[in-house]
Structure 1
Amino acid sequence: MSNNDQQSSSVPSQLAALAIKALKPGGITVGGGYGLWLLFIEHKSAEAIASALIGFCFSYLGKLLEPIHVGNQRRLENVGKAIDQSIDHGLEAVKWRFSGCDGRYLQRQGERCQEYYGTEDFKQPDGIWQINLDDVFVPLNLDLSVGKFGGGVSSEERSQTWQIWDFLAQVKRVPAYRFIAILADGGSGKTTLMRHVTYKYAKGQQRKYGRQVPTLLPFLIFLRKWRDVISENPSITMTDLMMRHLQDLRDGPNLKVPSNWAENKLKHGLIMFDGFDEVAKHQRQTIAEWISRQVNNYPNSVFLLTSRPGGYDDFKEYATEQPTTLRVREFEKIERDTFVQKWYLSQELVFRMGKMSPIVRDEAQRKAANLIGQIDSSPELQKMSGNPLLLNLIARLHKFYPNETLPQLKTELYQEICDLQLGARPSAKRVAMLLDKPLERQQVLQAVALEMVRQNTVQIEKNKLLELIRLALAKLDETADAQSFLKQMVQISELLYEPDTEEYAFSHLSFRNYLAALEISRLNLTDELIAHWHEDWWRETILMYCSQLKPLQLHPLAQAACNGEDKAGNVYLAYDCLVRHPSERIEPDWISELQPLRYQRIEQFMQQGQWREADIENYRLMIQTCGKDFGEYFTVQDLETFPCWDLQRLNSLWLQYSGEKFGFSVQKKIWEECGSPKGYDLTDEERQQWILFCDRVGWRIEGEFMDYENLQKNPSISLQGELPSRGGWWSWVSDIFSRAKTCGL
């Protein structure tokens, strides 16, 4: 047989051998495949076999590497998905921002919300570098006011944090989220949150927070600016207001838009009304009704409303469209630390012209760690730093005085900021101020602040402001020019700023209220204070004034206030002034003597058969007793330590006026008969017990858990134990009823 024949006859054998090898784990690799190719095409047997053998070696090695390969494929796929999603976001943003009129509007609106503290919020002083909102924003955690009695919520779910984007993402699925009210006290970050949402929409970045977040055109309306326009012309349309809003933006007059642009965009808009509490008392009904009409007129738009709790009570009373209510949670340690770290890193970056380096990072971390350590070691600082505004002020003081002990009281913090802005910083800048003494400069601002509180105004026209400054300067026997003084307060001290052309405001509402409290103290205007004790916009000023009094001065003031107009409301504030006073020398008897007065209003509601109002008042009393404000939530600790006297008093009133139909003791008895289920972390058996309890007290009817508003709230027709139920305490039902047992109910 010739060599050619031998080679030819060996090819099938070679192919068979290769086929067997190919069936082994790893399959045909590149080398093995190349060997087959040579056999078929060129019949180069030796070379083919050698190539195939090499390929099979790599095949077995490939089996070893295969898991790594699969893992890399998975990782690359995830990276690819992320890149694809980023491309989607980028294309969405490009399309969003450069679409004619929309793009020009979004650019202008986004500019207004870009800086951390812009012209519509808190004015950042010179020496604290201006930074972007994106660089330091820490998401606000929100509490949803639960409306159903479903129970079964796990402790993990109950502690879960919700952010505004979570609710926006569910708008199509949950119609109740189309209109949301966000409540918080001053300095809690409500306006900053609205600016964050507006900025993200303006940049087309809303989908970063979930693909279900709707694409809407944002309109951010500061009610303090437009309240007079709306109240003086209640028939003004949303379209007309939007066109005025456009003109107010930078280069607004040059934003040429078609006549129907605003109306078309409002049909699918995100319309944010910021600061209902900054609307004057006499304007609130008109504006609440006007907002309700807009919610009704634009059924495909989403509406957000922010307010302090006191002002929101008026909105609830007058509005025909009621929103879902969210409460802003205070910063906890993780949010506090995150903010401090971001804040110091941003400050260092701006100082070093935006150049990141290990030195910049280390310096920022060192300063942040020092501040965090001081806060962690002080319960007073921990409490204050739960408020974003106060945390910002603490950070500012720490930056200027890194080796000094930080103030431990809220009023001390405000005063140190005033000392810094009016004294230390002008001196450091070697600026000759018009008034020699920082205290004199502050006294002029105090006079302005008090008059603004009297008028319940956040912004003041320039001419009116100059007149107030002239009067204050004249009382100091000063010939300083009012215009020049105003210029220094804006440009040097920066406790005043110009949010709108020819209109001025204090850097934050809380500074206005603090300075007004000082002026009341300086002029001894306690009678005026008592006369306004019942007005919600005086609340913070009154609390700040009272916190600076000595205990023996505060007691008679609290007694006198309880005899004024709106006696029940006055008692609540007097109670808060006593229990929140920083001194440990507040006599317990002073608080005890207010207790009977605190319970007069709920008793009146019960006597008049106003059971819904009585239930709300029950919650108001309980949450205040826990040292919290109306609208806040209970914790397990709140209920486990709830004072027995207060629980017994509330229970006795419910029993007395409902004919023993309502009351904690009535509910506790039914709860025990149903197996004493918890309101959370339920097993299957406990859930059936909870359902039985809800059926017994009327919180579940015909298989459906009830909304609070659908309860009967009438002892004549309600099931036994239906009330009290307002305030969400039933989520911790085992804790409140265990406390009731301890207290002898």
Structure 2
Amino acid sequence: MTNPTPSPKATPPSTHPAIQWFATFAIRFAPLGGSLGILGSFLWNQEWFNALLMFPPTVATTIWAGYSKSFLENIGKRSETWGEHNSNIFANWVEQSARTLARIVTKPEVRYLECQKRDCVYNDIEGYEQRNVLLLRDVFVPLRLTHADYACGPMGSGNLRRTPELLLREDLTIWELLRQVPRRPDYGRMVILAKGGYGKTTLLRHIAYTYCEQTYRKFKVLLKVPVLIYLRRWWNLLAQADAPDLPTLMTDHHIPVLPGGKDITMPVDWAKTLLEQGGALVMVDGFDEVAEAQRTAVSGWLNQQMQWYPKNWFILTSRHDGYNQGYEGKHHFKSTVSVQEFKPEQWQRFIHQWFLCTERGRRADSDRNITTVKSAAEDRANALIAQIEAPERPDLAEMATNPLMLSMLTSWYQFYHTKTLPRYRAELYGSIIKMQLKDRPEAKGVELPLPLKDSRRVLQWLAMAMQANKTL
């Protein structure tokens, strides 16, 4: 039986001779052509000095043209082998990079952080409907913090001697305090107290957004995964005898209500593992919004979570009375700070940022005409600031120290931009109510069930009832 004749081994097709010749020609003579062209230009224009300077490079490129012929012939033969080897290396690198990128993109924290970020991207104000909801990053003004009580647990006289520059200051920022946690763990168990409208919730949203946006590095703080829990949403659940623990609350309740949270599937025990490793910054907002009868149970739940997962950072916000009179087990929190009222430079900065954002939003092609936009925003901001600073209007300057009241002032002025602010607080409140219950709905074509007069009566009775029940 005759063996079949083996077929010759297939060889990869070589480059077309014409293409190969052209490439070799270009490599050899392109430098010469460029140098000759420049030299000829200088000679034509009688620029003798430049021509003299150009003569050595021209000689060098002439030598290259001769040298490169044999060099390229030899290197071309070897390059085929090198090219095959290096292309394999490059292909393996691309494949490995793709796998690494896929692992990064699908990492559980990345999917969660995107959802948490969406929940904090806008400057939403609870209980106050704004005409234009701006991006938080564009209008946020850092709050001034100060220690509420020097004798709060371990933050007492001992730390006062060690870190007086922090304990005595009244212009601390939240990032300065969080930066201290590795050396001063007390700041990892922090209570932030403030009056209503002073920006407690906005501050926590700013922290969460900064971590989610991966811009926390500029503040030189440790990496943490932010978890922002609103007690007004969950206090009734947490007050129950069979309340879920923190990992269950995160997985089954917190993540699903985030924008896009229902569309992601987190690995089993992801939250528990994160907390056990100490990778979370747990921010619990609004203890004063918990019903008085349930505050003991809710504070007990939070204390238990801090005991179970001690490696994590915890921040609680509340109004002063809600925390001081209703929180059981205050020793679990090691530091207490208070939010200070806005200083003039703060509320002026807010007004300028506010009007720059609104002008950019309402003017066509604002990015290309940013100079005009900035000028218009500057004029409107300065006009409002002048009214607030007028000596005959002390109530307006006082209102501007409260971030919520300041937002209402700017919203009112934005809507009635051709008018003068009411002189007194009561008049301004009445104007704001009129804007919210009549003028704005009419401008948007929304039909309300009650006329303005009747709506005001309902609000008056509601305010009286809330004041009587001490819920206002």
CA distance in 1, matches of 2:385, 2:443: 27
Instruction: Give the Å deviation of 1:443.
Output: 3.5
**Corresponding residue of 2:274:** 265
Partner secondary structure for residue 229 of structure 2: strand
How many positions carry a matched residue from both structures? 360
Distance 2:327 2:408 in 1: 33
8 Å Cα contact 1:271-1:301 kept in structure 2: yes
Give me the whole-angstrom Cα distance separating, in 2, the residues matched to 1:95 and 1:389: 43
Corresponding residue to 1:375 among 388, 395, 402: 388
With over 3 angstroms needed to count, the CA separation of the structure-2 counterparts of 1:237 and 1:428, relative to structure 1, is closer
Partners of 1:318 and 1:247 lie apart in 2 by 30
| 1:232 match: secondary structure | coil
CA distance in 2, matches of 1:155, 1:193: 23
Relative distance call for 1:247 and 1:430 in structure 2 (3 A) is: closer
Letter in 1 for 2:376: E
Q: Once the 2 structures are TM-superposed, how far is the Cα of residue 259 of structure 1 from its aligned partner?
A: 1.3
1: CA distance between counterparts of 2:212 and 2:453? 43
Are the equivalent residues in 2 in contact too, given 1:116–1:130 (CA < 8 A)?
yes
Work out whether 1:286 is the aligned partner of 2:297. yes
The CA deviation at 1:432 is 4.0
Q: Distance in 2 between matches of 1:310 and 1:214?
A: 32
Query: Partner of 2:453 in structure 1?
Result: 439
- Could you tell me whether the CA contact under 8 Å between 1:277 and 1:312 is conserved in 2? yes
Matched, 1:241 2:249: yes
Q: Deviations over 1:344-380 (max 9, x none)?
A: 0000011125525221111000000011111111322
For 2:186, which of 168, 176, 194 is the aligned residue?
Answer: 176
User: Structure 1 residues 155, 110: closer, same or farther in 2, change over 3 A?
Assistant: closer
User: In structure 2, the residue corresponding to 1:273 is in which secondary structure?
Assistant: strand
The residue identity in structure 1 corresponding to 2:177 is F
Match of 1:203?
213
Q: How far apart, CA to CA, are the structure 1 residues paired with 2:165 and 2:419?
A: 41
Query: How far apart are the structure 1 equivalents of 2:331 and 2:168?
Result: 31
What is the Cα deviation at residue 381 of structure 1?
1.2
Whole-angstrom distance in 1 between the partners of 2:140 and 2:104: 22
Give distance in 2, aligned partners of 1:184 and 1:209: 23
Please point out which of 125, 128, 132 is paired with 1:129.
132
Correspondence for 1:108? 115
User: Is 1:222 equivalent to 2:230 in the alignment?
Assistant: yes
> Which of the numbers 158, 177, 181 marks the counterpart of 1:167?
177
Change (3 A) 1:153 1:226: closer
**Equivalent of 2:105, from 93, 98, 113?**
98
Q: Which has the higher contact order (CA 8 A, sep 6+)?
A: 2
Give the counterpart of 1:400 among 387, 402, 415: 415
Paired residue for 2:239, among 231, 234, 240?
231
Matched residue of 1:406: which SS?
A: coil
Identity across the alignment (%): 34
1:383 deviation in Å?
A: 1.1
Contact kept, 8 Å, 2:146 with 2:169, in 1: the verdict is no
Q: Distance in 2 between matches of 1:401 and 1:333?
A: 23
Query: CA shift at 1:403, angstroms?
Result: 4.0
Q: CA distance change for structure 1 residues 271 and 152 in 2, over 3 Å: closer, same or farther?
A: closer
Contact 1:284 1:314 in 2 (8 A): no
Q: 1:143 maps to which residue?
A: 146
Residues 166 and 172 in structure 2, CA contact (< 8 A), matched pair in contact too:
no
Q: Runs of 5+ in structure 2 lacking a partner?
A: 1-52, 54-100
CA distance in 2, matches of 1:182, 1:98: 34
**What's the offset of the Cα at 1:442?**
3.6
Q: CA shift at 1:177, angstroms?
A: 0.7
Gap change, CA 1:339 and 1:278, over 3 Å in 2: same
Aligned-partner Cα distance in 1 for 2:110–2:145: 31
Relative distance call for 1:337 and 1:315 in structure 2 (3 A) is: same
Q: CA deviation at 1:246?
A: 1.1
Matched, 1:186 2:201: no
1:13-24 equivalence runs, <5 A = none
DSSP-derived class of the 2:121 partner: coil
Equivalent positions of 1:256-335 (< 5 A) are 256-267=265-276, 268-319=279-330, 321-335=332-346
Residue type of the alignment partner of 1:438: L
Corresponding residue for residue 35 of structure 1: none
1:289–1:320 Cα contact (<8 Å) kept = no
CA drift at 1:252: 2.4
Cα distance in 1 for partners of 2:164, 2:316 equals: 30
Q: Which residue of 2 aligns with 1:500?
A: none
Question: Cα gap change, 1:411/1:277 in structure 2, threshold over 3 Å: closer, same or farther?
Answer: farther
Q: Secondary structure at the match of 2:332?
A: coil
Residues 673-708 of structure 1: CA distance to partner in whole angstroms, max 9, x if unpaired?
xxxxxxxxxxxxxxxxxxxxxxxxxxxxxxxxxxxx
Cα shift readout 1:611-652 (whole Å, capped 9, x = no counterpart): xxxxxxxxxxxxxxxxxxxxxxxxxxxxxxxxxxxxxxxxxx
* Residue aligned with 2:134, SS: coil
C-alpha deviation, 1:157, in angstroms:
8.9
Is the contact made by 1:96 and 1:103 (CA closer than 8 Å) also made in structure 2? Answer: no
Q: Is the 8 A contact 2:146 2:340 kept in 1?
A: yes
C-alpha contact (below 8 Å) 1:242/1:262 kept by paired residues: yes
Whole-angstrom CA distance in 2 between matches of 1:294 and 1:95: 34
Tell me, yes or no, if the aligned pair for 1:219 and 1:271 is still in contact at 8 Å. Answer: yes
Question: 436, 453, 458: which is aligned to 1:421?
Answer: 436
Query: What SS class does the counterpart of residue 267 from structure 2 fall into?
Result: coil
Contact 1:341-1:368 within 8 A present in 2 as well = yes
Task: Kindly provide the CA deviation profile for residues 249-305 of structure 1, in whole angstroms up to 9, marking residues without a partner as x.
Answer: 223233111111010122320000000000000100011111111111111100000
Which residue does the alignment assign to 1:39?
none
The 1:368–1:296 alpha-carbon spacing in structure 2 relative to 1, beyond 3 Å, is: same
Cα distance in 1 between the residues matched to 2:438 and 2:403: 25
Give the deviation of 1:404 after TM superposition. Answer: 3.0
Name structure 1 gaps, 5 residues minimum.
1-50, 52-93, 451-515, 521-527, 542-745
TM-score (norm 2): 0.70
- CA distance in 2 between counterparts of 1:231 and 1:417 reads 37
Please give the alpha-carbon distance, in whole angstroms, between the structure 2 residues aligned to 1:368 and 1:138. Answer: 16
**Distance 1:352-1:193 versus aligned 2 partners, 3 A rule:** same
Which residue is equivalent to 1:9?
none
The one-letter code matched in structure 1 to 2:272 is E
Amino acid at match of 2:235: R
* CA RMSD, 1 decimal: 2.8
Alignment of 1:717-736 (within 5 A): none
